[in-house]
Structure 1
Amino acid sequence: MKFEYKNIVVAVDGSEASEIAFNKALDIVKRNDAHLIIAHVIDFRSFAYAEAYDGSLSDQAEAYAKDLVDSCVESAKEVGISQISRCIEYGSPKVKIAKDIAQTFKADLIICGATGMNAVERFLIGSVSESITRHANCDVLVVR
């Protein structure tokens, strides 16, 4: 019996780790003839206080997210993937990816990059990839 993934979420944030994860996702999506969901979560907590001084930060974050996801969509199309969805959300990536986005798209695999945090940061705040692994109801591939 052959198992195939049908709905694959890849989390992208523009980092080198997420780019590596995205490229791995392209291979897996092609091999499984799956639906690719490209997800980016705008973490509003990172600029919530600064927004009071500069009201354009959320607009800039949205523009960046749109450009990033559009670029990923184009890359996926270039390698022959046709079943592609875009997903841009606001909130905590730790919660949104594993719970909301994965459930909305009925994901059977989430792919994300490993973080570059050091041991102290991981201990104090935890990594996004660790949280996804802990809370997801489907398989998770953390790409190094």
Structure 2
Amino acid sequence: MTLKYSNILVAVDGSKSAEYAFKKAVQIAKRNQATLILVHVVDTRAYVAIDAYDGTMANRAGKYAEDLLAGYRKEATKLGVENINAIIEYGSPKTVIPRKVAKEINADLIICGATGLNAVERLLIGSVSEHITRSAKCDVLVVRSEVEEEEI
């Protein structure tokens, strides 16, 4: 049994919590000389009905994802991570991250923030991090931020 991580998947959505998860992922990737895989899932459930009338929403969401990942990639490189990949997926982050992306890239660690951008969904049906923790086949690190502690 090896105690070293090789493929670290970090979920980013632009939230403060995801920023903390990213920073922790960079440090762990450097210590393990691991590949850092950045993933952003465009939650298509949010605009399926609206987008039927106006196809620009999907384009804007895709552009946001590209810009977000480019920024994280640049920062990770500047901080000394050598192997970085970025993935944009579409669907529900709760299922896409642990069941599709983690499986495809053979992740041995998933890192995510404790809370993301969708507060309404978290209130009604549970957080993305909670679902990832329950359904992932590898280790999961849920990172809490100072912002969350202040909210309590």
Please tell me the TM-score bracket, short chain as reference.
Answer: over 0.9
Residue 16 of structure 1 is matched in structure 2 by 16
How far has the Cα of 1:44 moved from its partner? 0.5
Residue 36 of structure 1 is matched in structure 2 by 36
**Is 2:122–2:128's contact at 8 Å kept on the other side of the alignment?**
no
Identity %: 55
Residue 126 of structure 1 is matched in structure 2 by 126
Q: Deviations over 1:79-132 (max 9, x none)?
A: 1111111110001100010011101110000000011677x9646311100000
Residue 138 of structure 1 is matched in structure 2 by 138
The residue type paired with residue 104 of structure 1 is: E
Partners of 1:22 and 1:95 in 2: how far apart?
Answer: 20
Residue 61 of structure 1 is matched in structure 2 by 61
How far has the Cα of 1:73 moved from its partner? 0.5
5+ residue gaps, structure 1:
none
How far has the Cα of 1:53 moved from its partner? 3.2
**Is 2:12–2:39's contact at 8 Å kept on the other side of the alignment?**
yes
Q: TM-score normalized by structure 1?
A: 0.93
Partners of 2:39 and 2:53 in 1: how far apart?
Answer: 28
Q: Deviations over 1:30-60 (max 9, x none)?
A: 0111000000000101111111232200000
Count residues with an aligned counterpart.
143
Name the SS of the counterpart of 2:39 in structure 1: strand
Is 1:106 aligned with 2:106? yes
- When residues 122 and 41 of structure 1 are mapped into structure 2, their CA distance, relative to the original with a 3 A threshold, is closer
How far has the Cα of 1:3 moved from its partner? 1.4
Partners of 2:97 and 2:2 in 1: how far apart?
Answer: 27
Name the SS of the counterpart of 2:48 in structure 1: coil
5+ residue gaps, structure 2:
145-152
Output the aligned Cα RMSD: 1.8
Deviates more, 1:92-101 or 1:123-132: 123-132
Q: TM-score normalized by structure 2?
A: 0.88
